Amino acid sequence: MSELSSIPLMDLAAQHEPLRDSIRAAVDRVLDTQQFIMGPEVEQLETELAAYLEVEHVIGVSSGTDALLVALMALQLEPGDEVITSPFTFFATAGSIHRAGATAVFVDIRPDTFNIDIEQVEAAITPRTRAIMPVHIFGQCADMRGLEKIAKKHELRVIEDAAQAIGARHHGVRAGRLGDLGCFSFHPTKNLGAGGDAGLVTSQDGALAERVRLLRKHGAEQKYHHQLVGGNFRLDAIQAAILRAKLPALDGWNAARRQHAARYDELLAGWPIVTPRIREDNESVFQQYTVRIDGDDGGPQRRDALRAKLADLGVGSNIYYPTPLHLQPCFAHLGNVAGSLPEAERAAHSVLSLPVHPALGIEGVDEVVRRLRIALDSVD
């Protein structure tokens, strides 16, 4: 198989190449001024991202994880308060609920979109429920219209974990303005990646945005006078400058991801694997192109065998996520048991994310599919 070129799950170097000069210039600009903490680069990035996301308030922060944490801190939760969320997500979603002093209440996902099943949300609401934190998994928004109705009825806040969904739309509205607060990650592997850790909080609510802004710098409007106990959640000026250099490329990258996804959909139709379902009211940005490889026994063996075979054939893939959060050892005290959230558990056993990155090209998709055919034939 040594003649087969490798097709990695992502190729950040290829995406960097055409932007190399503008990114270097951006970093030099910061180095020349020596203004590393906040300042004009951060402010200008915030202005540009507010325009891009079509949202009123944006607050640059230190990571996607910190975006979630500081957004939850802004809700001033108390011990025993509950936040409803999805178990099928990156750890930070529920980790930040715990760190904000509240309790994560997991609601199962829909098997077709992998997003939280809003039909099951109301049954999880108790007198202690304060907020719902949906995750726009793999770049497709959760059913925010439905969640908004539930939140209004029960007077709950909604925080979007939009870490994977920058640029996505739901009923034409951008992720990040679909709830009370929106949280984004600029981790280098996300659709818009910084040169390290960075994140963003968005809001249409001026009072909430103001609280996030305060919490970002230790709760002090005026230095050394602290109204709230916040943290150091500031965005680095170097990261802001790099993000400003990359932002103009984002729509093109997202469009390329969508084209790649459409090509997969076309080529994989009728195959014994399930392709992603994007709802009519959603425009996904395909942070991942995630297929489902169900095994006869409900276990992960068939999927894992296919993944190993793909690796032999030079195709990178990954499992997002192998263990749902309700079954993580650190949340054992919440009392969730195996079998309690069957769709999240089934997804963990069957999902496989294939290369969909912007530098892949249609030829790249065709080549992945050719090798996927060989891999499937060898495992079935």
**Three-state SS string across the chain, please?**
CCCCCCECCCCHHHHHHHHHHHHHHHHHHHHHHCCCECCHHHHHHHHHHHHHHCCCEEEEECCHHHHHHHHHHHCCCCCCCEEEECCCCCCHHHHHHHHCCCEEEECCECCCCCCECHHHCHHHCCCCEEEEECECHHHCCCCHHHHHHHHHHHCCEEEEECCCCCCCEECCEECCCCCCEEEEECCCCCCCCCCCCCEEEEECCHHHHHHHHHHHECCEEECCEECCCCCECECEHHHHHHHHHHHHHHHHHHHHHHHHHHHHHHHHCCCCCECCCCCCCEECCCCCEEEECCCCCCCCHHHHHHHHHHHHCCECCECCCCCCHHHCHHHHHHCCCCCCCHHHHHHHHHEEEECCCCCCHHHHHHHHHHHHHHHHHHHC
Distance, in Å, from the CA atom of 344 to the CA atom of 27, rounded to the nearest integer, reads: 42
Least distance CB 61 / ligand PLP (angstroms): 9
What is the side-by-side order of every strand in the sheet holding 173-174? 173-174, 169-170, 282-283
Distance, in Å, from the CA atom of 236 to the CA atom of 187, rounded to the nearest integer, reads: 13
Least distance CB 75 / ligand PLP (angstroms): 17
Rank residues 52 and 184 by Cβ distance to ligand PLP and give the closer one.
Answer: 184
Question: 């280098």: which residue's tokens?
Answer: 188
Least distance CB 140 / ligand PLP (angstroms): 12
Least distance CB 99 / ligand PLP (angstroms): 12
Least distance CB 57 / ligand PLP (angstroms): 20
Q: Which residue is nearest to ligand PLP (CB)?
A: 64
Least distance CB 197 / ligand PLP (angstroms): 6
Least distance CB 318 / ligand PLP (angstroms): 12
Rank residues 15 and 63 by Cβ distance to ligand PLP and give the closer one.
Answer: 63
Least distance CB 143 / ligand PLP (angstroms): 16
Distance, in Å, from the CA atom of 376 to the CA atom of 380, rounded to the nearest integer, reads: 6
Binding footprint of ligand PLP on the chain (CB under 6 A):
63-65, 89-90, 92-93, 135, 161, 163-164, 185, 187, 197, 199
Rank residues 197 and 343 by Cβ distance to ligand PLP and give the closer one.
Answer: 197
Least distance CB 159 / ligand PLP (angstroms): 11
Rank residues 350 and 353 by Cβ distance to ligand PLP and give the closer one.
Answer: 353
Rank residues 61 and 268 by Cβ distance to ligand PLP and give the closer one.
Answer: 61
Rank residues 70 and 372 by Cβ distance to ligand PLP and give the closer one.
Answer: 70
Distance, in Å, from the CA atom of 280 to the CA atom of 257, rounded to the nearest integer, reads: 18
Rank residues 138 and 264 by Cβ distance to ligand PLP and give the closer one.
Answer: 138
Rank residues 97 and 365 by Cβ distance to ligand PLP and give the closer one.
Answer: 97
Rank residues 85 and 302 by Cβ distance to ligand PLP and give the closer one.
Answer: 85
